Structure 1
Amino acid sequence: MGSAVRAAVGRLPAAPGVYRFRDARGRALYIGRATALRHRVGSYWADLGDRRHLERMVPQIVRVEALVCDSVHEAAWLERNLLERSRPRWNRVAGGAEEAMCIRLEHRSGVPRLVTVHWPVTETAGTFGPYLGGNRTRLAVSALDRVLPLWATDDRLAGSARDLARVRGVAVADRERFLATVTAVLCRRPDAVLTVRDLLVRQRDRAATNLAFEHAARIQAELEAVDWIVAEQKVTHLTARPDAEAYGWHDGLLVGFRFHAGRLCDWTQRVCGPRAARPYLDRTPPALAEFARRNADLGRTLAGG
């Protein structure tokens, strides 16, 4: 590892994000995502494990670039978007393999129910997402059905379904409360998310106390799935939005992002003076200003600034 690359790896944060390797000619070699950037990027100069096909790439790396994301989920979406737009030589596939899903609130005969649908969608009313990972999305729906069983508020239940609703203490009168909480969770409201997490934790711990370890493990998986879908994610939107650009600047480095069809699909970095940078910064949407500024700071740090 060259001294410049070693220094850049040491400056990376232990945070989720996306990284990009470049060669001496400035060409992108590889784009990847990380749960912890410093550990993941540093691992390329250790045992590559199941990534041995990259052994010939590593000596060509002369520059490390990275973006910090607000969640692992956001990093997963960003990697997918960038690779679908432009795939560097050493990336095997154009984007991740996870299913892109949404959660929809459907009203059947007046009773709301949660269903999973593939993204992109044509019907956006009552639809939330998108999320990466079909299994995670289905587990999150299972978690919400477990603690906020909308199906059990149907006044036409019969037989075992009616008995189960009665045992769980659920009645038609609970419908609006359940629906409000479910909607708030899918809108990522912290108070509602905390309520659902607490209910799941209690059920998991009760199952473990009763030695029902498989059941406890299932609830734990659902809990992690809820955390996944409520994590902040602003690089892919449910519906296509007008194309936009966002820029951050720090000490001579301008970092730019381009959004197309609601997805962050392009990431650039270049040397730029403060006067030349000002028009770019002025047209950056306020909602993206902090993301862009933070990553301009990181870009300058990795470049040795």
Structure 2
Amino acid sequence: MAEQSDKNLTGFARIQEYVKTLDNSPGVYRMLDAQGAVLYVGKARSLRKRVSNYANPNGHSGRISRMIRETCSMMFLTTRTETEALLLEQNLIKQLKPRYNVLLRDDKSFPNILVTKDHGYPQIRKHRGAKKEKGSYYGPFASAGSVNRTLNQLQKVFLLRNCSDSMFETRTRPCLLYQIKRCSGPCVGRISQEEYCGLVADAERFLQGKSTNVQADLGRQMEEASANMEFERAAALRDRIKALTQVQAGQHINPQGVAEADVIALHMEGGQACVQVFFIRANQNWGNRDFYPRTGSGADAAEVLRGFIGQFYETHEPPRMLLLSDEIEEAELMAEALGEKANRKVGILVPQRGEKKDLVAGALRNARESLARKMAETATQAKLLEGLAEAFDLDAPPKRIEIYDNSHIQGTNAVGAMVVAGPEGMLKNQYRKFNIRGDSLTPGDDFGMMKEVLTRRFKRLLKEDPDRSEGHWPDLLLIDGGAGQVSAVASIMREMGVEDIAMVGVAKGVDRDAGKEEFHRAGQRPFALRHNDPVLYFVQRMRDEAHRFAIGAHRAKRAKQVGATPLDEVPGVGATRKRALLTHFGSAKAVSRAGLEDLKAVEGISDSLAETIYGHFHERG
């Protein structure tokens, strides 16, 4: 890595000095401003040639010219190949979030369907995250909803179990899913292992796009059962064929000539961009998602699409083909990099005719409509923020509002919640929950809980962003509570030396009715907004969202505690070994009473771990 700086040189002159030190190696360069913040990250086949372009004062767009003028220093990192440089570039962009780069802001993982392979009666269920479990994965699906719909269809047609292994081992009678014909009841022997594995194979063929063959096989089985006068079995097969027919009828926009592809379309308007991604797997449309990347202060369509693809597939497995709405820069290099990641060939195509062109046109139409809705929502949100600033006497419309709430039952499983709103609406990827740790708190002490939440939140801000340059500091705090809560929060903020952030308490008001809220500010009289004021509805929505998020976090914490067992406290016993012990002994109590030799007999439990488990429960008496 190389780095140089000279306080007396900026812009073109500064870059010209760097050119003298560079060779033709491939690599990644970073352009930094006077404060050391990264303005731009780029990759180059030849660092010398690429950086030389910036040293020339002529021929640049307004965006690039602004970036060059702000550049005070640069950093360089050489790589062995241009492909390595491309992959490193995208990593650094996601990590550093430079102002002039295209940035993918919403990059959550996508769910898959998992058919497990570590049990005699495989389970089918939704899976999200790293593919570490043994089994077959099908996806990605665009959302949890699309996975749930598909799983619901599979249950109707193939009658596969979705219960956990521990529940499977301990059942003594069929569950409700068996009664409503959504499961074949393998847990209680209502189907043989061979027959069940046949159902699993049919389900996997369906997920691979071979549903026609599955339907034909079911038809033959129904005819055979009818000929043998097995009318009950024939009726069951008829119901499965009917369900499969409904599934096929409900699947739309399923391409015949495209087995596996991501269809990616970009629409740009008014300095904003929407990228629509359709997931085509096994000749089936498994849903779509829209993304709104930051456009890097004016990047063109080719750069926006290239930046999106590079960052999107850093964390997602690329399909065999990408169908794009626009040409991208260095498409062959991108295909090579994606192929290297996937360990197989990945094609990139901008189709000009036929079914592929129609797929892209559909995605582009969705991108255009989604961006129009987004821009309309943004305009409405801007008016609401202006109204909020006027109502609460703020200097300017807030860019970041943080809303806080607590949830508990008589002080137990207490959770604090923070939700965030801004010009683009509710920013769900910024939400945070706080497990209340204060052992000295009196159960139900809302003031104490709020103090802990705010202290942890702002201590972290003071540590990670002391100069408030990264946009993580709020302009306005909304607190669920009245004058007492506001006074307590103001005191907390003074203790931390943070007294310049506006704060408003939202109290239910007379009869605790929605619409009669009172607003409290430190040192001022409470006031109310008129009943039909859009700003009032806006505040209510934000408060209700904080309440919803807090309750959800509290319920999740409570459910986790309910599902806890003494095995959770044993060192070295994780989820897999816990499952093995419960399967072998039937309950945590039986594990605690088991002898050392019995513990050693459990699959996956080593002699030393068996001694640890035995010692843990023995010491506890």
**What is the TM-score of this pair, normalised by structure 1?**
0.32
Name the structure, 1 or 2, with higher relative contact order (CA <8 Å, separation 6+): 1
Question: Computing the radius of gyration over CA atoms, which structure comes out larger, 1 or 2?
Answer: 2
**What is the TM-score of this pair, normalised by structure 2?**
0.16
